[in-house]
Amino acid sequence: MAAARGLDALYQEIVLDHAKRRVGFTSLADHPEQPAASERSATSHQRNPVCGDEITLRAVVADGPEGPVLRDVAWEGAGCSISQSSASMLSELVRGVPLEQTDRLVAGFREAMRSRGALALDEEEYGDAAALSGVSKFTARVKCAMLAWVALEDAVRRA
């Protein structure tokens, strides 16, 4: 439809699909995490003051032989298709990934989002989340895409 002009970069099919599937979405209260002795867990609540959108993300970090690993990510919250899709893609991407790598992923994602369209995310590295590259051209929506990633960064720091 005509309304799609200029929006294809933002609302790709895969983005809208993730907004519906919502990987990692769960009721955190109904599904409490009981970390094992070698694990620690923390949640982070983030809010977009502009629209009131919010997310609560829980990260479970496990100590492995080669350093800490992000064993699980779960989240709940309400928001626009970009924020929901981004949380879903993030969950799919970082489960079971060493923390050292998740730090790099978050930093790279932030850099791309702030690039005003100059940097594209590598599909091999970011999987479905690479489809969010187009968000950086819509500066008013960067916060929406960042919400879950900021929550992950914060939760890991507290875990």
Partner 1 sequence: MSAPTTPAPAGAAYDAAAVRAEFPLLSGGAQLPDGAPLVYLDSAATSQRPRAVLDAERSFLETTNSAVHRGAHSLAAEATELFEGARETVAAFVGAGPEQLVWTSGATAGLNLVAYSLGNAAAGRAVPGHEDAVRQWAPGPGDEIVVTEAEHHANLVPWQELAARTGARLRAVPVHDDGVLDLDAAAAIIGERTRVVAFSHVSNVLGVVNPVERLVAMTREATGGRALTVLDACQSAPHLALDLPALGVDVAVFSGHKVLGPNGIGCLYGRTEVLEALPPFLLGGSMVTTVTLEATEFLPPPQRFEAGTQPVSQAVALAAAIDFLRGVEERFGAGAVAEHERRLEQRLRHGLREVPGVRLLGDSDRSERVALQAFDVEGVHAHDVGQLLDARGVAVRVGHHCAQPLHRRFGVTASVRASAALYTTEDDVDVFLDALSGVRAYFGVGR
- 4 near partner 1 (CB under 8 A): yes
- The DSSP string of 49-66 is TTT--EEEEEEEEEEETT
Q: Nearest distance from residue 75's CB to partner 1, in Å?
A: 16
The residue range among 25-33, 111-119, 122-130, 138-146 that interacts with partner 1, by the rule CB under 8 A, is 138-146
65 near partner 1, rule: CB under 8 A? no
Where does this chain touch partner 1 (CB under 8 A) — which range of 47-55, 94-102, 104-112, 151-159? 47-55
Residue 148, judged by CB atoms within 10 A of its CB (0-12, 13-18, 19+), counts as: buried
**Two tokens, residue 116:** 């005003």
Give the pair of three-digit tokens for residue 123.
């599909």
- Find residue 40's DSSP bridge partners: 61
Backbone Cα Rg of the chain: 15
- State which residue, 7 or 107, has the beta carbon closest to partner 1: 7
For 25, which DSSP code?
A: B
Per rule CB under 8 A, is residue 54 in the interface with partner 1? yes
Query: Residue 10, interface with partner 1 (CB under 8 A)?
Result: yes
**Residues engaged in binding partner 1 (CB under 8 A):** 1-7, 10-11, 16, 20, 50-54, 78-82, 138, 141, 144
